[in-house]
Amino acid sequence: MLCTKCNYRGEMKVRRGEYEYQSLPGTTLHNVAFHECPECDAEAVAIPAIEQLDESLASDVVRKEAPLTPEEFRFLRKYLGWSGRDTAMRMGVEPETVSRWEHDQRRIGRTADRLIRALVMLESPVDNYGAKDLAGIHEGAQQPERCLELKTQGWELCA
């Protein structure tokens, strides 16, 4: 393994312990591996299966009974891979509102709390999502006519 501080290449000492997970303050990870450099005593933490960890945390957060904290709201937004601006577009609020929620300058209302939880339950986390697709949603838009046809594979939109 390579030490990022002194560039030592070789065997690192490994110890196991608790780690305060930075992505969601107040979350402690148990039995985490800490790699210690024998040359400079630098320490690095190794968190395996981080996607599964975040998925478990997101599931726990959306199912809790208490209102979301600003840190939990930010965690859920980042879990989905959305910027503050993308989140604001999806929730129908201004980007400044999302920022105020996350910085505890404005209370997260019940509707916003429930909406972000529902979005986490319905959406898959993504790295590159076209939030611009939702930018055109507005009250005066004309309702489209839809046509669906039943085929052997199921319903499909008509051409």
- Shared domain for 44 and 3, answered yes or no, is yes
Q: Phi then psi for 98, rounded to 5 degrees? A: -60, -45
Q: Does residue 8 form part of some domain?
A: yes
- C-alpha dihedral over 62, 80, 91, 134, to 10 degrees? -150
Q: Residue 68 sits in a domain of what CATH number?
A: 1.10.260.40
Q: Does residue 159 form part of some domain?
A: no
Q: Does residue 147 form part of some domain?
A: no
7: left (phi over 0), alpha (psi -120 to 50) or beta: left
- Shared domain for 34 and 74, answered yes or no, is no
- Shared domain for 42 and 7, answered yes or no, is yes
pTM over 0.85: no
Q: Provide the pLDDT for residue 133.
A: 56
Q: Provide the pLDDT for residue 132.
A: 57
CA distances from residue 37 to 6, 20, 33, 46, 127 in whole angstroms, order as listed: 9, 21, 13, 13, 33
Owner of token pair 């594979």: 153
Number of domains in the chain: 2
Q: Does residue 22 form part of some domain?
A: yes
Q: Provide the pLDDT for residue 155.
A: 78
Instruction: Please give the residue range of the domain that contains residue 2.
Output: 1-48
- Shared domain for 58 and 43, answered yes or no, is no
| Residue 32 to residue 14: CA distance in whole angstroms | 10
**pLDDT, one tens digit for every residue, the chain (159 residues):** 788 889 989 999 999 999 999 999 889 999 888 999 999 989 999 888 888 899 999 999 999 999 999 999 999 999 999 999 999 999 999 999 999 999 999 999 999 999 999 999 998 886 554 555 556 666 676 666 667 767 777 676 676
- Shared domain for 68 and 111, answered yes or no, is yes
H runs (alpha helix) in the chain: 50-63, 70-80, 84-91, 95-102, 110-122
Q: Provide the pLDDT for residue 63.
A: 94
- Shared domain for 57 and 111, answered yes or no, is yes
